[in-house]
Amino acid sequence: MTNITCMVRWVRTHEALRRAAWTLFAEHGYDATATAEIANRAGVSEMTLFRHFPTKEALLLDDQFDPSMAEAVRARPANESNMRALAEGIRQAWTRIGAEDAKLLHDRLRIIAEAPTLRGGIERNSEKTIAALVQALMDRGACSEQARVAATAVIAGLSNALLNWARSEPTSLDSTLDSALDTLGGN
């Protein structure tokens, strides 16, 4: 089997596991869904699930937007403040999210907001995002302490806004993000 065939199969399995998990979490709740059920729904073994996702919470919390957000922040004008570069870079990265992805994000965040056992996981997962944004700011010339404070503040504020959005009826992701990023960026 070629490397490309293996990679295609890995991606297909990864997405099947993610979709199965999100469907089951939406139907039964995060806490009531076992990893064996997710694997069964995806047509793989539970061991295969854990090869793709190290924990059950990773099925919901892994954020594929981190690299694009960090790159957009890194590309912001050098004369922008850290907070403005973060807000505008994140805004730019999120403009690539279509209506279907926004609906999936809303559903995913609602599951997260309703699962008390995920509270600590949200913070742990945010560390990866913060680290990517800190590095982007440092690449722009910020010192590590200032970069960490700015990135932590923006991610905390954005997480709060997105979780509140998820608890509400689906409203515009764009308006929620714009409002939060305007506040965080000093607009």
- Tell me the whole-structure pTM to 2 decimals: 0.80
Its CATH architecture, for the domain 3-56, is Orthogonal Bundle (1.10)
Q: Specify the pLDDT at position 183.
A: 92
Q: CATH 1.10.357.10 occupies which residues in the chain?
A: 63-185
Q: Cβ contacts of residue 174 below 8 Å, gap of 6+?
A: none
- Asked whether residue 170 carries a pLDDT value surpassing 70, the answer given is no
Tokens of 185: 């960026």
Distance CA 70, CA 137 (A): 8
Domain with CATH 1.10.10.60 in the chain: 3-56
Confidence (pLDDT) at 108 = 83
pLDDT at 175 over 70: yes
Quick one: pLDDT band at residue 153, thresholds 50, 70, 90? very high
**What CATH class does 63-185 carry?**
mainly alpha
Q: So what's the pLDDT on residue 79?
A: 93
What is the structure's pLDDT at 163? 86
Which of 108-112, 131-135, 171-175 is predicted least confidently? 171-175
- Give the Cα separation of 115 and 59 in Å (integer): 13
